[in-house]
Chain A
Amino acid sequence: AAGVIQSPRHLIKEKRETATLKCYPIPRHDTVYWYQQGPGQDPQFLISFYEKMQSDKGSIPDRFSAQQFSDYHSELNMSSLELGDSALYFCASDLTGKTDTQYFGPGTRLTVL
């Protein structure tokens, strides 16, 4: 069965650079969630989209933005990167009202030097 796809899997950036993370949800899933997991930490919710509209917002810095496109894939854009942005970034998807299980992608490991 198809799973959530994230790209790239690894990303190394310098401070103050920008990064774009991509997420391709499971086919026919309409909701995408982004989470950030710092070293030794539990995942923290950043933002979610339902049917291409932002549905909820968590502790996402103003330097980050995200959107969901017409094909339901989502991109997380990160600017003015800081050392503290180094983390695993997970995308998850589900089908609202049909399946409540959130399926997670393998994550993108971002390292900011």
Chain B
Amino acid sequence: KQEVTQIPAALSVPEGENLVLNCSFTDSAIYNLQWFRQDPGKGLTSLLLIQSSQREQTSGRLNASLDKSSGRSTLYIAASQPGDSATYLCAVNNQGGKLIFGQGTELSVKP
């Protein structure tokens, strides 16, 4: 059974810092991995999707990497801004289509 874990559960950084969020999964036979952002009480916004054959994806200040063999993914956020404050969720697709989510990392960027 696939299990997804995110570390840390919460992170507080000053504005301008670069930061890394971690995601690990127990079953490496994944189809893809998706990173989401969720603001309090709101919906899920897709940030990046990495296929199992890819090593990384970039979008603006965001870079996601995937090491399938070790069951790890990281989300790197460069030059963090207060507007980046949110919960970041990673989710794994094990080819069934359904997503299995981690518990999320709650990020707070202080001005």
Residues of A with Cβ closer than 8 Å to B?
31, 33, 35, 41-45, 48, 50, 55-56, 58, 88, 90, 92, 94, 96, 100-107, 109
Contact = CB atoms under 8 A, between A and B. Distances in A.
A25 B7 CA distance: 32
A45 B98 contact: yes
User: Which of A48, A56, A104, A106 has the largest number of chain B CB atoms within 10 A?
Assistant: A104
B83 interface: no
Contacts of B102: 42
Contacts of A106: 42-43
A58 B2 CA distance: 13
B70 interface: no
Given A43-B99, A104-B45, 17 more contacts: A31-B97, A33-B97, A33-B98, A33-B99, A43-B44, A43-B91, A45-B100, A56-B97, A58-B98, A90-B44, A92-B44, A102-B34, A105-B43, A106-B43, A107-B42, A107-B43, A109-B41
B93 interface: yes
Nearest to B4: A42
B65 to A, nearest CB: 18
Interface of B: 31-32, 34, 36, 41-46, 49, 51, 89, 91, 93, 96-104
Contacts of B103: 41-42
B64 to A, nearest CB: 13
14 contacts: A33-B97, A42-B89, A43-B89, A43-B91, A43-B101, A44-B101, A56-B96, A56-B97, A56-B98, A58-B98, A100-B32, A100-B93, A106-B42, A107-B42
Contacts of B96: 56
A100 B44 contact: no
Contacts of A43: 44, 89, 91, 99, 101
B97 A96 contact: yes
